[in-house]
Structure 1
Amino acid sequence: MSAAPSSSPDAPATPGLPSSPLDPQVAALLELIARAKRPPIHAMEPEDAKIAYEKSAPILDINPPPVYMAEDLLAPARDGHAIPLRLYTPREASWTEPLPLLVYFHGGGFTVGSVDSHDPLCRLLCGQADCMVLSVDYRLGPQWRFPTAANDAFDVLHWVFAEAGRLGADPARIAVGGDSAGGTLAAACAVEARNAGLAPVLQLLIYPGTCARQDTPSHRALADGYLLTADMIRWFFAQYLDQEASRDDWRFAPLDGGGAGAEVRGTCPAWIAVAGYDPLHDEGVAYAEKLRAAGVAATLADYPGMIHDFFKLGRFVPAVAQAHAEAVAALRAAFGTPHN
């Protein structure tokens, strides 16, 4: 396991390595994981990896908070596939008092994860932000390769705006969000919305993947020992990408990909969370800079002592609650709803 950086002021700075130490509970958790010596995801067959991720997800996450209602729905994809969704509602909605809605895309490298693995987080956002949350079970690799996940995300985006009234949602207060690979999809949805004349009020990007290659300082400095590793990222991409050229498509790499969505001007405001000990740290920072350079309001929330996936470690890491609260505050501000 990689060691935490030296706190000595005389220690040479390593590009991509934070100057702040790991959160103590995060450091303890990484030690526990290292001692357990379980096979990493990238050493498994994809189906086994999916099962292992589902089993491990609840262990470190918060207990699922209660919500007024959780309902499973389906939305049509362009190829006729029925995309499973889970709609969380904080209280009764009506046509006279529609609720704001967050469309949420789970993380998992486009290969693992589900509405079940991210159920506690979606429940928390629903209750604390007083908004509906629509969690999307988009199709995963390797059975479904790029651009299927992006197409599913776009199809749900259009469906939500068309069906908002029927769902009890306010079409003027819809946000998109996601973590990791789900953050990639949410960022791409913000571009798709702009192109289609839809107007979400926020893109909530939690340690999003935005670049096509692992060549930033944080990728190099944090390649091993901090939960998400370089080998894991390469494995995820190998399950999802249909061809090497797709790395350079904006739907896969919103930061540096080309094509019709490379321009982000006119997309909705962003709240972007990054973790200091996450290989994806620098690309999240760079995406905030890209948005700002295009005139898009982008708030960067940097959590220097955290690792990738920390939003789902709340049972073990008390400091995660502060990040949850700040994400909730960003949603409430975008929706124009008062804070509790």
Structure 2
Amino acid sequence: MIGCLMTDNAATIETSDTALRAADHDFTVRTYPAPTPNGTMLVWAHGGAFVFGELAMPEADLTARELAARGTTVVSVDYTLAPGEVISLLPAPDIEGMPTPEQLIAVGGDRPRAPFPVASLQLVAAFDWAQQNAARFGADPLRVGIGGASAGGNLAGGAALRLRDRGTSPARTVLVYPVLHATVPAPDAELAAIIAQLPAGMGFPPEITKALNENYLGGHSAADPYAFPGGHDLTGLTPTLVITAHQDELRPSGEAYAAELEVAGVVAQLVDEPNMHGFLNAPGDPSAVRSYDRIAAFLADEV
């Protein structure tokens, strides 16, 4: 499988789109039915610094296809993005072939944008839709999980808290290289040395992360646990898988969150992949393939 764009089973999965509305904004969910369902379902949110990203990107589409091929029906959420003006602060990546921030944000077209809590509430609405429709896709409504990558990991973590507080927790939560703290914990000496060697535009310096987070908040308090769940009461959350990227300035946030979960008595698995942030966007990358297998096993209780 390593080195392939996608497995044969993943490539042939036929998707369907459903229009939903939450927090006064329209959005879409795309369902990837498992050809051989094992009873699990995952509501999934792509990343993109809250301001870009879409359903066709590998982190959304390929991840969903590969998980569906492994037995989990995936509901991928095309949530409302945050305002895009902050994109001017992001440096262009110093890697040939990598799209610029301007090119990435242009993918969203002229769709309405909105800050927190719109996308967070849309994740909850997508979860509700998934539970209501799970049976027709061969999934158990009680085995619907929630997850996401990068900014999508933030949205999934916040939605998991909302659902816990409402009394309808997801079966499991999956967070891949997430940003869960409004202020990301400082890197240790080893990570600082790694960061110093990253190509321009491939890291998340504190000032950039701060600007992106404030842009997402749109004036709301960073202390709101539904906006940034790290550092808050995590008691009662369901089992959570946290996958970090070793060469990632956001790694300390995932590591700290996993530790906070354990202190709160929540079953937590922390896996550190030897890679850079965003590896789910690299088709065939060994870290991505391992993560597909690991997430599928976690959702199916094969851990």
TM over 0.5: yes
Q: Does 1:233 align with 2:178?
A: no
**1:166 Cα deviation after fit:** 5.0
Corresponding residue number in structure 2 for 1:202:
172
**1:149 Cα deviation after fit:** 1.2
Shift in alpha-carbon separation, 1:319–1:263, aligned structure 2, 3 A: closer
Aligned ranges 1:97-108 → 2 under 5 Å: 99-108=39-48
Shift in alpha-carbon separation, 1:213–1:321, aligned structure 2, 3 A: same
Match of 1:172 among 120, 132, 142: 142
**1:83 Cα deviation after fit:** 1.8
CA distance in 2, matches of 1:167, 1:78: 27
**1:72 Cα deviation after fit:** 0.8
Contact 2:182/2:210 (8 A) holds in 1: no
Shift in alpha-carbon separation, 1:191–1:92, aligned structure 2, 3 A: same
Contact 2:242/2:268 (8 A) holds in 1: yes
RMSD of aligned C-alpha atoms? 2.6
Give the percent of matched residue pairs that are identical in Structure 1 and Structure 2: 30
**Residue identity matched to 1:297:** V
Corresponding residue number in structure 2 for 1:136:
77
Corresponding residue number in structure 2 for 1:12:
none
TM-score norm. by structure 2 comes to 0.78
Q: Deviations over 1:289-323 (max 9, x none)?
A: 111111100000112x21111122234x4454223
CA distance in 2, matches of 1:163, 1:223: 47
Corresponding residue number in structure 2 for 1:127:
69
Aligned ranges 1:36-115 → 2 under 5 Å: 62-63=5-6, 65-79=10-24, 81-91=25-35, 99-115=39-55
| 3-state DSSP of counterpart to 2:18 | strand
Q: Does 1:308 align with 2:277?
A: yes
CA distance in 2, matches of 1:319, 1:92: 24
Between stretches 146-155 and 234-243, larger displacement belongs to 234-243
Corresponding residue number in structure 2 for 1:324:
292
| 3-state DSSP of counterpart to 2:233 | coil
**Residue identity matched to 1:127:** A
**1:127 Cα deviation after fit:** 0.7
CA distance in 2, matches of 1:321, 1:159: 28
**Residue identity matched to 1:132:** T
Corresponding residue number in structure 1 for 2:105:
none
Contact 1:67/1:127 (8 A) holds in 2: no
Structure 2 unaligned blocks of 5 or more:
84-112
Shift in alpha-carbon separation, 1:299–1:199, aligned structure 2, 3 A: same
**1:266 Cα deviation after fit:** 0.8
Corresponding residue number in structure 2 for 1:249:
224
**1:234 Cα deviation after fit:** 4.0
Structure 1 unaligned blocks of 5 or more:
1-59, 257-261
Corresponding residue number in structure 2 for 1:181:
151
CA distance in 2, matches of 1:67, 1:332: 22
Between structure 1 and structure 2, the one with the greater Rg is: 1
Shift in alpha-carbon separation, 1:320–1:154, aligned structure 2, 3 A: closer
Contact 1:223/1:279 (8 A) holds in 2: no
TM-score norm. by structure 1 comes to 0.70
Between stretches 110-119 and 158-167, larger displacement belongs to 158-167
Contact 1:214/1:220 (8 A) holds in 2: no
